[in-house]
Structure 1
């Protein structure tokens, strides 16, 4: 008997079973070593409606992004360098300003074109920012900088972390909402 949902299993030193749906709709099951296949099949069966829905949504979004990428004009190296240098200047100034305001330090700043993140903060305090944010409203750029610097106080996304963000930008949820609604446009503006 074939199983109705195809999936890949990745075993590791974890304590629970989790389902991951990749951007292309592929279903990954992460399970502890020794977890019986019958348990995994039962788990998948229980979550089948959720899996089918999210897998289809992810696959549709992924195919749309692939098409948009094909339609997007290619940037020249000179254009890309110009955008990266503009972003470096903006993020360097904003990080210095907000770090003083928040009483935190940070390491180096890198400007990248991350596919799934607008910014990140390493455990060593190095900051990474996506250069495409230069096309977002300034308030959104401020939010990303404050968000990453807040990780210098809380290396998680707990309530305490968001309290740090809110202490600097009380209306940060407006910027989060803007990014969720318009983030894809930043990828397609150049």
Structure 2
């Protein structure tokens, strides 16, 4: 099951979960299950609203983190390689000083996602403001901002599997 192209968003999860997801997908019930658990979509539809959404989370949980220069939905993120969000540091020389700006880009697909899934992506990218890698400290920070982070990430990956089989 691990090599199944229909489960590309679930790579790395235990085999029993993959088998269960594959069975639900084959029966056509996976989408229904996710939609029942996460009905509707969020109200964050513009780049400005997304910036305010991310800024509110940063202000609440990461007050000492560097400020965000830009947060936007990006149509160019490559879902094929699994890029759902991206946090970048742009450094520019202004006079004799190095100016750093932090940007977050979220795959445009998440405009139509349930709020919980948008939150997972934003929390993940915000955590990169403090923690560069995907280590224990990084995931502890994600769980600090969203206690159900791991379950929501798994459910989001199920949603992506249905959206892009």
TM-score (norm 2): 0.58
SS of the residue 1:152 aligns to: coil
- In our comparison, the structure showing a higher alpha carbon Rg is 1
1:88-103 aligned at under 5 Å gives the runs: 88-101=47-60, 102-103=62-63
Residue 150 in 1 paired to residue 127 in 2? yes
2:89 counterpart (98, 117, 123): 123
SS of the residue 2:69 aligns to: coil
Q: Note the C-alpha offset of 1:99.
A: 1.2
Taking the aligned partners of 2:56 and 2:7, their CA distance within structure 1 comes to: 37
Runs of 4 or more consecutive aligned structure 1 residues displaced over 4 Å after TM superposition: none
1:109 counterpart (58, 68, 71): 71
Cα 1:185–1:88 shift into 2, 3 Å: farther
Cα 1:174–1:109 shift into 2, 3 Å: same
SS of the residue 2:89 aligns to: coil
Residues 118 and 144 in structure 1, CA contact (< 8 A), matched pair in contact too: yes
Cα 1:89–1:106 shift into 2, 3 Å: closer
Query: Matched residue pairs, number?
Result: 111
Residues 110 and 127 in structure 1, CA contact (< 8 A), matched pair in contact too: yes
SS of the residue 1:160 aligns to: helix
Cα 1:61–1:141 shift into 2, 3 Å: closer
Residue 179 in 1 paired to residue 156 in 2? yes
Q: Note the C-alpha offset of 1:93.
A: 1.9
Give the structure, 1 or 2, with the largest relative contact order (CA under 8 Å, sep 6 or more): 2
| Root mean square deviation of aligned Cα | 2.4
Q: Note the C-alpha offset of 1:186.
A: 4.0
Q: Note the C-alpha offset of 1:181.
A: 0.8
